Amino acid sequence: MSKLALCDTAMNYSPSDRAYIDAHRYMFGELGERVATAAILFRDRLLRPGFVLPLVRLAPVAPYGSCMALSGNSSALDHAQGLAQGIWLYLHEGMFSRHGALHDRVDEVVLHELLHNELMQFGEDAKHKGEPWARRCRELSSRLGLQVRIERPRSIRNGKTVSTGTPAGCLSYTDLARWPQPVLKNGPSLRTRAEAPLCSATVNYTAVHLEGPLSATPVAGR
């Protein structure tokens, strides 16, 4: 069972925030508004002071691939001059496959990409394998009331082969690369958790159970 405080979560948007929401709604309709309000919520409640919201574009591509989104500040879009900044969020089949969960999946992918973007803005290694990614996933999981051990991935030797993994008992490297989706399988949604810290004294979340097979949800992008 989960107990969440009933508190006023209405946002008082600044004129620039309202313009950000309106722009996304103009371009992408109701789903664009959802993306923009999620991004503003995460900026204000989870990400570091000074973080500047990037433009989030929705792209109806990659229906069969595994990548859910890209943080365009990565080198992956360097060839697309003028379009390399910001985030591309793919309207992947995986976002629509769980009945009624589209908005929750969008929120999760938006936070994942914003975290990449935050690390880039602050000049830190934004890769899943890096220490900054593990550190911020650990900090934000704690902030969201999620009980999960997160350690930096490292090289693990198994006989003559070397692979990348995390220590036993920690979130796996595969799931770390999909954070926060794998740690949100039970309990309140990401948006509910992100809104809750305003009255955190009454938050009492159920521990997240990470053991057992995880769903085959496609991974988020870089």
Q: Report the interface residues with Zn ion, using CB under 5 A.
A: 220
Helices 131-143 and 102-121: crossing angle, nearest 10°? Answer: 130
- Residue number, 95 or 220, with CB nearest to Zn ion: 220
CA–CA dist 210, 74 (Å, integer): 30
- Residue number, 177 or 196, with CB nearest to Zn ion: 177
Partners of residue 154 on adjacent β-strands = 165
Q: How far is the CB of 179 from Zn ion (least distance, A)?
A: 8
- Residue number, 56 or 220, with CB nearest to Zn ion: 220
Q: How far is the CB of 149 from Zn ion (least distance, A)?
A: 20
Q: Residue number with the shortest CB distance to Zn ion?
A: 220
Q: How far is the CB of 21 from Zn ion (least distance, A)?
A: 24
Q: Using CA atoms of 162, 168, 171, 175 in order, give the dihedral in degrees to the nearest 10.
A: 40
DSSP annotation of 204 reads B
Q: How far is the CB of 168 from Zn ion (least distance, A)?
A: 23
- Residue number, 20 or 179, with CB nearest to Zn ion: 179
Tokens 């001059």: give the residue. Answer: 81
